[in-house]
Amino acid sequence: MKNKLLAFNWKSNKTKIETKDWLVDASSVEVPEGIQVVVFPPFTLLDVMNGYIRVNSLPFSIGAQDVSPYGKGAYTGEVSAEQVKEFSEYVLIGHSERRSNLKEDNELISKKVDQALSQELKIIVCVSSLDELSGLKPEGLVIAYEPINAIGTGNASDPKDVEEMAKKIKDVGFQNVIYGGSVNSENIKTFLDLPSIDGALIGGESLDPKSFINIIGNAV
């Protein structure tokens, strides 16, 4: 069976105490064969989560939600790829919330990708259209297709449209495409069963450990 990636994006949610509670409750998760799980907490929680996951041998990895477009140096507020790499195996780049709230464009996103590649981080780049692939080279990238109107709305996209778009992304050379937008434990299998889809990026439903466990359980 082909491996499927389940990526859980916490966005700007949870404090340290809330995270410890989540980790305790999520510890009973069983990850089926062929499924790979990554959780993306905010930067402030990477260390706590990394430590807990290692000590308790939990069956998932963690990733950062962003990375600096620069290396180390005088870049106040930025977190370099080298710093991310100390805690994370993965990084998420170009989420639509950053593209729209912080006006991140394709050029900036390409710089972030270059930094992440230089540290051999595993990279997920989020796009909502084919234009947003511009400037990216397929090597080493997972593309998360997240249609804006499906994010956080409870209205997941029509699986037929998702398959069509994922196929187009693959046709231009990207080998791994995952879908994000109102994924839950009820619809996860439908998306994972699409021939051109290699996983899912989950937002809201990742915050409750029960939903997290159910999504993973229903993935096969």
186 is catalytic: no
DSSP strand E in the chain: where? 4-9, 35-40, 61-64, 90-93, 122-127, 141-145, 176-180, 199-202
Q: Which two tokens mark 58?
A: 């939990």
Judged by CB under 6 A, which of 39, 151, 197, 213 binds ligand 13P? 151
18 is catalytic: no
Residue 205 to residue 154: CA distance in whole angstroms: 10
Nearest distance from C-beta of residue 37 to ligand 13P, angstroms: 14
Nearest distance from C-beta of residue 202 to ligand 13P, angstroms: 5
Give Cα 177 distance to the centre of its chain: 11
| Cβ-Cβ contacts under 8 Å for 1 (sequence gap 6 or more) | 33, 34
According to the binding rule CB under 6 A, does residue 201 interact with ligand 13P? Answer: yes
For residue 126, what are the β-bridge partners?
144
Q: Which residue is nearest to ligand 13P (CB)?
A: 203
The catalytically annotated residue of 95, 97, 104, 205 is 95
Q: Which region, judged by CB under 6 A, interacts with ligand 13P, from 13-21, 28-36, 76-84, 197-205? A: 197-205
Q: Closer to ligand 13P at the Cβ: 197 or 201?
A: 201
According to the binding rule CB under 6 A, does residue 203 interact with ligand 13P? Answer: yes
So which residues are the catalytic ones?
95, 146
